[in-house]
A and B are shown apart, each in its own frame.
Chain A
């Protein structure tokens, strides 16, 4: 039976083969002669040079007088033909010659059987008996010529590359093409060559025996005979299917499926051929791991379990049945191990050759027996390697993740793997699944990241990975560019809501090309260049422009004030002349001369004291100046007294005039019509003096007017205020009279005499305080960035909002300047306003707060005075509300203005098209933070913008 099978199988293959190869096959020496001639540098080329199967075969047949089976002989012949002149031949010869005789005699026959038992195998297989996996010709064409190779390999300890002698017998041309593609590795090639050479030399020794034996067999096989009737069955070797009739068979052969398979086989062959240079097709297939193959079905299984399942499976059974029916040899159920490429000496993928199971018991045993004599170290090493390579039994993992689905009777009906999301009905399948790669990968991915899973880099996966890397790269690039280009409002807005840029941006190393954009860089420089204008800033600035007085109004005020000052000076001169006409006559002349000088100070334009005292009077008036200055600094006291004493000789009654209040501080707003001047008197200002001023001033005003000026000035006496008011109809200038000596206690001796005549003391003191406040303001507040703007804004706020009205202007100025000062750095207008609100909202003005210390008083005075608690409460509450409105982009409500449209940045470069994310808006409620927050903030901003556009 065994033999029958063999022969049958052989003949079957052989027949087809024979048909194609022509009768000349063993004809003669031509082949041999031709082959050397055709010898090229490499075997591959030679083959490719289309020596053709026939030629090779002939050559082989011709040469192999020595050797046995025609088929294998052919292979060797080809090899021999290619490298007959190999240099190392002799060296090898010795060894091989020594080894061969022992091995050779028994071998050929059994191996032959084994080989013959095999139907045409299209894919690599391993020789189960250890080193013999090298059995080069595993591709036994028609199962014929392999066995010697196994023998050869044993001897040479080398393996043949995957030998795709696969093409179905029905298609000889294809087969030859395949062969042509095959590139033998040099080493193998050499080894083989030598072997042949050795055989040649050995002549009629064991070799003859082989030859005879093999020859007989071969001869029988070769005899061209028509396929038996039983073989009407049409069998496709590539696809391993049988067809019902010739028609279907033909159709099958023309079918796409078949062609595909065929192409794949060819490709594998080519890959095997190319293996000499690079990796091998077989290796690629087998991956790194020890895969198991079912030779019969040409199925690669990843593990013993999978293999067992396959053998049990219906598909396998079908094939077995078919093959049995066809009488084809059925290889053992022993799986073929597909080892890694490293097992091959030269790194080539090897051909696997399986001694077919039941049929080849003899063969395998005999091979084993033969082995010891030849078993050189290489072999043993290989064997060990082999064992090392066999995958250690994989422990099933993830039992916990497989749930059993039980039926009503409590019996497990099926299993569900939660990790891989798959089901199986069979406990075996479950076991296998748990050991399987896919499951292990999932387990690694989802449960235990350090689990080792053999990776199988399939083409597909590699492509996926590459594509992913590519995508990442592109995304990085895009983000990088976006970072570069997105400026201004975008950044600012995001920063505003999110704090720093980072929350948006995956943290981690920045792409190297903008490392110089590092955040920290700006910090040491403080505000770099012009700070970006935030939306708050723009609103505040816009509001400020709105409340800032128009040019015309300022000029009007300027003119009236200037005239008043000049008139006062003129009046002062007149008074002085009048008081001391004789003694100071010279002085007057001097004064007149001074006044004519263009560079002389004409009025109080610089907001400093405009002294009426001429230079000639300096000696006498110097003390007064000092007194005035002392009063201005809030330290009027002893100095003032000293000044008065020193100037007792003959001082002017009116020493100078100074702008105070809004005018001096530059806090005038649109519509402001009232400004104040303070005239410093030498002595306590009296009602008499005030009346005198009121009566004389119009004349002097008329005198100082420009020639064409027809303004009518009206002067009003306001004794209760201790002042006169000059008015041109629209602008009112309040001129208060005061004196530094008013600060002294009223009960000071002789001064008491004309108490009744003296102007109200409090008014005079207020005027003095106004002087000091103006000086303080100019010295302190005006120099703080944004301070004046914010005070103007706050003045407007206090005018508009009842809650803020109780805050007196000076306290407000103190508050704002204190807030600015404590910031430690320059603030933009928007920030400044917010900070003021923060301070008030944080309870600065509440009862337990520190109060606002008046810097213009020596004692601790709270500039807020005794603001009632309810007012403080209301102020604080209002500021708190404003603060939150500012924070939520509603500063326009605080400022009582229309919201400004969003600024469009011309410099922004290209921008990303922004995606609408409508679907998200409704679910935001339950996304308190993380992504949802960003969404929400943006939404918020947009909302404010949208309302801005309305």
Chain B
């Protein structure tokens, strides 16, 4: 009788005997989203008064004010971007004798475009789509041309000078004005050219496709994540991630998606208050949002079944979860000032790796669960096309 109760509900009435799915499809593992308290609200109604969270809210807003770029920075980067855009647009429309490459399109992307720039990191991003293939020489040629044109423009305005430096993603234009600003020109090529890339001759395939992805990301962001709460949360999370080693591998794109999810994805579809959303973000990552076997956050800019966090390797996934877990408990004990960076923890130590005591409660970091193993593994032979395009920007 006890057994009967225990077994209830496991049978499949009406399908008995039909062990196989209707289609001869290899069974699909359906990944679940993680436990999310905001969405599980009906199952866990609040039965005690909500704690006073104004301290956290104040701290969040204060920190955000610190993270916002100053007007001087903003105008510096704005003017540089505008000029650069002019120069590049001219090259698109009328290349003239410029033959190093042909430009298809120029787009602003990244934090500048999204309005999530951080103070002290005055770097905007522009993606240049080439019609020709992005060889290193083409990038160099473009860089020289841009440098020349831009300096011409700057001289005409008497606005200082710029310098260009090439790197593996394209080149960076740095202005040496009063407030320094920089624009990273990220080079990519048309989608149909991706197959033709060769590692020795061209820029790296992953880099190229990530730049294409960056364009998609910017577009998605523009359409879906324009709420300013999201931008506030993005700044806070990016800052937090930058200061804790375990969370560092999270890409800006993952943070964007996470912030959007935390603010907007709730039953009411209204933006959540910043403190709730901040706790939710920590709680989700701590609850394994970015762990293997979890549905995580679906990437809206990739084909179906892509999860944003699979761009992290397993050790990084483990570390990110472990760090968030520790931070979650620190914040729960009232340590948000350290987590947010309003206060340096014991001379700049990473609080997520230290044992801390709060009112007699000991909060300790966790050991990693992921283990490297020396054992060689079986792997299926896979050919050159293993890499998908647009591995998050």
Contact = CB atoms under 8 A, between A and B. Distances in A.
A884 interface: yes
Given A528-B22, A928-B316, A495 B381 contact: no
A852 B46 CA distance: 8
Interface stretch (B78-86, B132-140, B218-226, B236-244): B132-140
Nearest to A844: B37
B100 interface: yes
A457 interface: no
A915 B380 contact: yes
Contacts of B318: 884, 887-888
Contacts of B316: 928
Contacts of B141: 400
A202 B303 CA distance: 81
B286 A841 contact: yes
Contacts of B249: 928
B132 A448 contact: yes
A890 B8 contact: no
Contact of B328 (A401, A843, A917): A843
Interface residues of B, number: 120
Given A448-B102, A917-B379, A939-B379, A499 B31 contact: yes
B304 A930 contact: no
Interface stretch (A406-414, A592-600, A705-713, A872-880): A872-880
Contacts of A941: 377
Contact of B18 (A517, A529, A931): A529
A927 B204 CA distance: 14
Nearest to A913: B381
B131 A450 contact: yes
A929 to B, nearest CB: 5
Given A785-B9, A838-B34, A883-B288, A850 B46 contact: yes
A606 interface: yes
A848 B279 CA distance: 10
A516 B317 CA distance: 34
Interface in B22-41: 22-32, 34-37, 39-40
A784 interface: yes
Contacts of A870: 360-362
A419 B138 CA distance: 13
B348 to A, nearest CB: 24
A361 interface: no
Contact of A500 (B35, B282, B287, B306): B306
Nearest to A831: B32
A400 B325 contact: no
A943 B334 CA distance: 40
A930 B314 contact: no
A446 interface: yes
Interface in A523-555: 523, 525, 527-532, 534, 548, 554
Nearest to B368: A884
B1 interface: yes
Given A447-B132, A838-B35, A937 B292 contact: yes
Interface in A67-118: none
A201 to B, nearest CB: 65
Contact of A788 (B5, B101, B312, B314): B5
A449 B3 CA distance: 70
Contact of A517 (B23, B201, B388): B23
Interface string B283-305: 11011100111111000000111
Nearest to B45: A853
Interface in A125-167: none
A862 B48 contact: yes
Contacts of B360: 870
Contact of A873 (B18, B305, B361, B382): B361
B304 A818 contact: no
A498 interface: yes
Nearest to A907: B20
A404 to B, nearest CB: 14
A521 B25 contact: yes
Contacts of B18: 529
A521 B30 CA distance: 12
Contacts of A837: 288
B287 A839 contact: yes
A666 B361 CA distance: 37
Tell me if A's interface is mostly helix, strand, loop or mixed: helix
Given A497-B292, A502-B304, A503-B310, A447 B385 contact: no
Contacts of B286: 841-843, 880
Given A839-B35, A942-B377, A448 B307 contact: no
Given A499-B296, A500-B305, A847 B377 contact: no
A522 B28 contact: yes
Interface residues of A, number: 133
B381 to A, nearest CB: 5
B391 to A, nearest CB: 6
A818 B293 contact: no
Interface string B372-393: 0111111111110111100100
B43 interface: yes
Tell me which of B47, B51, B192, B249 has the highest count of chain A C-beta atoms within 10 A of its own C-beta: B47
A883 B381 CA distance: 32
B24 A484 contact: yes
A575 interface: no
A182 to B, nearest CB: 45
A577 to B, nearest CB: 31
Nearest to A487: B26
A446 B39 contact: no
Given A445-B196, A446-B133, A496-B292, A850 B379 contact: no
B293 A496 contact: yes
Given A491-B29, A789-B6, A869-B361, A497 B288 contact: no
A504 B292 contact: no
A916 B292 CA distance: 23
Interface string A757-783: 000000000000000000000100011
Interface stretch (A220-228, A349-357, A820-828): A820-828
Nearest to B138: A447
Interface in A777-800: 778, 782-786, 788-789, 792
B361 A528 contact: no
A554 B2 contact: yes
Contacts of A782: 5, 8
Contacts of A517: 23-26
B379 A915 contact: yes
A519 B9 contact: no
B10 interface: yes
B19 interface: yes
4 shortest interchain CB distances as A-B pairs: A500-B305, A842-B287, A939-B377, A822-B40
21 contacts: A446-B201, A446-B202, A448-B133, A449-B131, A449-B193, A491-B29, A502-B306, A502-B388, A503-B310, A517-B24, A548-B6, A606-B1, A786-B10, A838-B35, A848-B50, A850-B46, A887-B317, A931-B382, A938-B380, A943-B373, A946-B375
Given A822-B39, A887-B318, 19 more contacts: A418-B201, A419-B201, A496-B293, A503-B388, A504-B386, A528-B22, A605-B1, A607-B1, A786-B10, A839-B40, A843-B329, A844-B35, A848-B51, A850-B47, A851-B47, A887-B369, A930-B391, A939-B377, A942-B373
Interface of A: 400-401, 418-419, 445-450, 475, 483-484, 486-488, 490-492, 495-504, 506-507, 516-517, 519, 521-523, 525, 527-532, 534, 548, 554, 558, 605-607, 663, 665-666, 668, 778, 782-786, 788-789, 792, 818-819, 821-823, 826-827, 831, 834-835, 837-839, 841-844, 846-854, 860-862, 869-870, 873, 876-877, 880-881, 883-888, 890, 912, 914-918, 920-921, 927-943, 946
Interface of B: 1-3, 5-6, 8-10, 12, 15, 18-32, 34-37, 39-40, 42-48, 50-51, 53, 100-102, 131-133, 135, 137-138, 141, 192-193, 196, 198, 201-202, 206, 249, 279, 282-284, 286-288, 291-296, 303-307, 310-314, 316-318, 321-322, 325, 328-329, 332-333, 359-364, 366-371, 373-383, 385-388, 391
